[in-house]
Structure 1
Amino acid sequence: MRFLLSILALLTLAPAALAQEKGPLVLAAASLQEAMTDAADAWGRGGHERPRLSFAASSALARQIAAGGRADLFVSADADWMDDIQKRGLVVAGTRAVLARNQLVVVSRPGLPRVASTKGAALGRILGGGALAMADPDSVPAGKYGREALTRLGAWQAVAPRVVRAENVRAALALVERGAAPYGIVYATDARAAQGVRIAGAFPPRSHAPIVYPIARLTAGTSPEAEGFRRFLLSRAGQAILARRGFAAR
């Protein structure tokens, strides 16, 4: 009887033990796919449980967290969505930091005219009747940065009717890769990771708010390695991994 009780106890504890062995769950902006995968691999090679990664638009991830979704770390592509969950009390105090920075560019299929200027109606004239792929400018950071830049440069009214809204920046990039849109607005790191597209133009840095990626631990997190992985990403080694994928230092 005592033997059977011991077996039952082990079976009861097994799921909890297995859960503890899983690496931290990281919710990260879609534009971080390659860089965060590289960092997770490096962390795993160091003898740690490899982090589990989930990528989507920062807006979708923040809403998931606000709705009670459990995760250990959140990396947003802008400060606004991190502000949103922090105001809800869902961020561990003292763990928020800027992880990396990025640039905003126009991409196109090879052979199309370059965008020498994003001012006024120049981009509208180049587009002609073609589409401009963007992440949703109402909620997704890449789209918000894009609309802000085009508005400041006086080009938004000219291009707004031709904007094709995508659920995230990688979906916008895919539209250009597949030829569904001749041009798109994405981050420089997305263009670097893409196949069959080129950078056709770049936005002046002062045309939009600085593109920063804040990282923070979440109060719903349970992984004992979450803080260690956060610190690794912010370390010299972690920053070098991000730099190899084109992200600017924090």
Structure 2
Amino acid sequence: MKKVVLILSCGLLLILAACSDTPGETKKTTIHISAAASLKDTMDDIKPLFEKAHPTIKLSFDFGGSGQIRERVESGAPIDGILLASKKDADTLSKQKLAKDTKEFAGNELVLIEPKDTTQIKGASLEQLLDNADKIAIGDPESVPAGAYAKQTLENLNLYNTEKAKLVLATDVRQVLSYVEAGNADAGFVYQTDAELSKKVQVKEKIDENLHEPIAYYSAQVMGSNKNEATKTFLDYMNKSEAQKTLEKYGFKATK
């Protein structure tokens, strides 16, 4: 009798174990991507599109200045892939053999913004707009690419030394936007894509692209990640038509 009970118990356990593996249930690989702050809204759209097309991969993001992301990779933070707004930072990581397979996937434009309610000065030049501002917000040029492009612009116009005392440094380009929105700065340098997201600011000047280095975004795999295949799938996706159309929707320039 005991043998019969034991056999029945074992059989029941096998049935329960089989039932616990729900048909169609797929194990997912979560990859962590560190991305430039200016990409946040775009990634909010791209995440569900990618996960629908690749149901075995789940995306996790954090956002910040490209220089900050580079420093986190250098310190060994658990990151699988990066999306940077800086060729310099991408190249630095590649040279240190901390990142590989670097690819350009988007472009952008630099603009000068002011609060929406600022009185319009018809026909004012960039120099006049800056001269009229008491505080000018830019990303920290040491860690924020948009800030580096802004500094290059001021230097090429021979305005950096005269405007330096007015500069308010921010940790990333979104903080620059928030400073201008709140009236804590009279003007600020941000990307066109950031300006388009806000109803509280106005674009006063599109910056001549010859005044700064080309603005481009780069993807790369982080060396040491044990999720190379899944990470490569996502980073390759950023250059495919669905992702490129989403980037264009937010004002980014598609790769050629």
Normalising by structure 2, report the TM-score.
0.84
DSSP-derived class of the 2:154 partner: helix
Shift of 1:47: 4.3
Residue type of the partner of 2:104?
V
Deviations 1:44-98 (A, max 9, x none): 2224233111100001110000011121111111101111111110113xx2110
With 98-107 and 223-232 compared, the bigger mean Cα shift is at 223-232
Identity %: 26
1:221-236 equivalences in 2 (<5 Å): 221-223=225-227, 224-236=229-241
Aligned residue-pair number: 228
Which residue is equivalent to 2:66?
58
Match of 1:214 among 218, 227, 238: 218
Q: State the Cα RMSD in Å.
A: 1.9
Unaligned runs of 5+ in 1: 4-9, 11-19
What is the CA–CA distance in structure 2 between the aligned matches of 1:173 and 1:88, rounded to whole Å?
33
Deviations 1:165-214 (A, max 9, x none): 01111111110111111211100001011231111111101000000111
Residue type of the partner of 2:70?
A
Which residue is equivalent to 1:246?
251
Which residue is equivalent to 1:107?
113
Which residue is equivalent to 2:145?
141
DSSP-derived class of the 1:51 partner: strand
Match of 2:171 among 167, 170, 173: 167
Kept in 1, the 8 Å contact 2:135–2:186? The answer is yes
DSSP-derived class of the 1:191 partner: helix
Unaligned runs of 5+ in 2: 1-9, 11-16, 18-26
Kept in 2, the 8 Å contact 1:40–1:51? The answer is yes
Residue type of the partner of 1:73?
G
1:51-130 equivalences in 2 (<5 Å): 51-92=59-100, 95-112=101-118, 113=120, 116-119=124-127, 122-127=128-133, 130=134
The answer as to 2:63 corresponding to 1:37 is no
Shift of 1:155: 1.9
What is the CA–CA distance in structure 2 between the aligned matches of 1:208 and 1:74, rounded to whole Å?
23
With 220-229 and 95-104 compared, the bigger mean Cα shift is at 220-229
Normalising by structure 1, report the TM-score.
0.86
Kept in 2, the 8 Å contact 1:97–1:214? The answer is yes
Moved over 6 A (4+): none
With 110-119 and 235-244 compared, the bigger mean Cα shift is at 110-119
Which residue is equivalent to 1:23?
30
DSSP-derived class of the 2:46 partner: helix
Match of 2:208 among 194, 204, 207: 204
What is the CA–CA distance in structure 2 between the aligned matches of 1:64 and 1:117, rounded to whole Å?
39
The answer as to 2:182 corresponding to 1:178 is yes
Of structures 1 and 2, the larger Rg is shown by: 2
What is the CA–CA distance in structure 1 between the aligned matches of 2:188 and 2:70, rounded to whole Å?
24
DSSP-derived class of the 2:51 partner: helix
Shift of 1:21: 2.7
Residue type of the partner of 1:39?
I
